[in-house]
Structure 1
Amino acid sequence: MQRDEVYVLDMWRILLREWRWFVAGALLVLAAVFAFAHAARPQWEATAYIQIGQVSGVPPGQDPKVEPLARVLERLKLVPFQNQVMASIGIKDDAPEAKLYRKSLKIEPLPYAGPLVKFTVRGWSPQQARQFADATVTQLQALHQKLLAGPLAMTQARLGEVKADLVSAQSERQRLAQAVGDTHGKDAPTASVASVLLTTTDAEILGLRQAEGDLTVRLSPNYTYDTSLMWPIYVPRSQAFPNLFLVMGIGLLFALSLGAFAAIVRHALRRSHGTTMSFNQTEDTRHLPANGGRGAQAGRDAVASNLQAGVGSP
């Protein structure tokens, strides 16, 4: 019965027998990995977080952000926007640096952290990667400042109107207070009307002060700000590509696999060659020389004579 299972011991014997092929296959892969690791151009990766600008003095129920998060993500992915980023630092659209920038730009939304936009971009040096990230934020900030200009001007104008109304109301209150003092005890109806107007003016002043305080808080840096970096750009000291540890680890795995495959293939070829030779030798026995054929025929005749003699005897 033929045994089809392959055991670890059998594999070990094959590797020991065909160790030259195993070593040759492993060395071939390791040489290719070593050449790739030293020939590939190093790349460094910069990570940045963008805080989307907003104006807090918008009508109730409206999003104070200058642009929704989804729209900002789509804008960053647009090739024209990316070309504008490259043009802002003096790089042409078809330059290798621009191709690396467009290929390596990775965007990740963080809707529950602000919202924020996390993005990574690569360059052929740490300084270039940092420059790419800073140019991206600067270009987006310039676009958002144009969109923020209108709502910010309207909110500031509203604050100016409230302040002017407050000054006017305070002046009116002083006039009414003086009128109440002058008519006190002289003209009772006039004094009563002046008192009512003074009370109304006091309520108006209170409302204007509350509106002024609310608008001032909304226009403070905590609630109204431009699109900017949330934290400084981070560029690790080690290069992002090629990752030598990862490349060498994968290369070693492939080297062992290819070495074992080469040894197994060589062993299979050797066995098939040996089986073919044995089969040919068996076939050759059918074509013996003439002398060998006559000797075999004589032997068969002698056996037949002995059998006949045994049958004829009593």
Structure 2
Amino acid sequence: MQPRTRGWRKQWDRDKYLYMLLIPVALYFIIFKYVPMLGEVMAFKNYRLAEGIWGSPWVGFDQFRKLFTSRDFYIILRNTLLLNVYSLVFAFPVPIVLALMLNELRTEWYKRMLQNFLYIPHFMSWVVLGGIVIALLSPSTGVVNAVLKLFGLEAIYFMASTFWWPVSFVGSSIWREAGFGTILYLAAMASINPQLYEAAAMDGAGKLRQIWHITLPGIRSTVAILLVLQVGRMMDVGFEHVFALQNSTVTSVAEVISTYVYNRGIVGLQYSYTTALGLFQSIVALILVVSVNRLIRAMGERGLW
């Protein structure tokens, strides 16, 4: 038996139960992630319910030609990218800032209480949170507009304004996800050697200096990995969040790829057309992930692979 084979057998005998724990995870990805990829063939067919996927006629790239010549395509692509860029610029740094602030708290019960309050929105459905956001921003009964009126300002129709709707979208996203996003950063900060802070304090470095020269470099690799994942979702805003907040008056800025696929594919029964759109979305997302991962590795950080 070759040395490599003996080493593999030895590792299997030692960790076989750990490998067996991977079986449900592997089955999940095979059944729900890889097998459905066979359905992407619909993008090259004129899918008909009566004939099924394999019985429907081939049309080549006709669905893609129809997609790229559609005016709606460029509107939803613009909206999807803009909302993701807003989230990347304004929402991505918030968990980092929150984690830095929580890390400086020394009263444990107060720190845990704040963490619990920050985590709660993450576990609530967007159906519930969307209703809360709409109620808070209501021009007649909302708390936000009530405060504005106290200062003599006019009520703002947040949910009906093409300018304020993206602001409300990003703000609600921060409210739901920022607190939960601090978990990874706090875990990364916990792994930083405390002696580094003690040495910096002895050299006269204040809190801001310690954060800049010790804490931020210590979590840089975590930030890089999460940035790669965030860019990988650049073509996917998510369905529930947008669908819970959008309405007909802000369709020009609120219609994104996920809601367009639902309206045209599920409601409009244009399965082949929306499958082509989904395939395009996946290919662009893959290119973005690979490109950003290469960039991160070129900068000396550890990427996803």
Q: TM-score range by the shorter chain?
A: under 0.3
Normalised to the residue count of structure 2, the TM-score between the two structures is: 0.23
Query: Higher strand share goes to which structure?
Result: 1
Greater radius of gyration (CA): 1
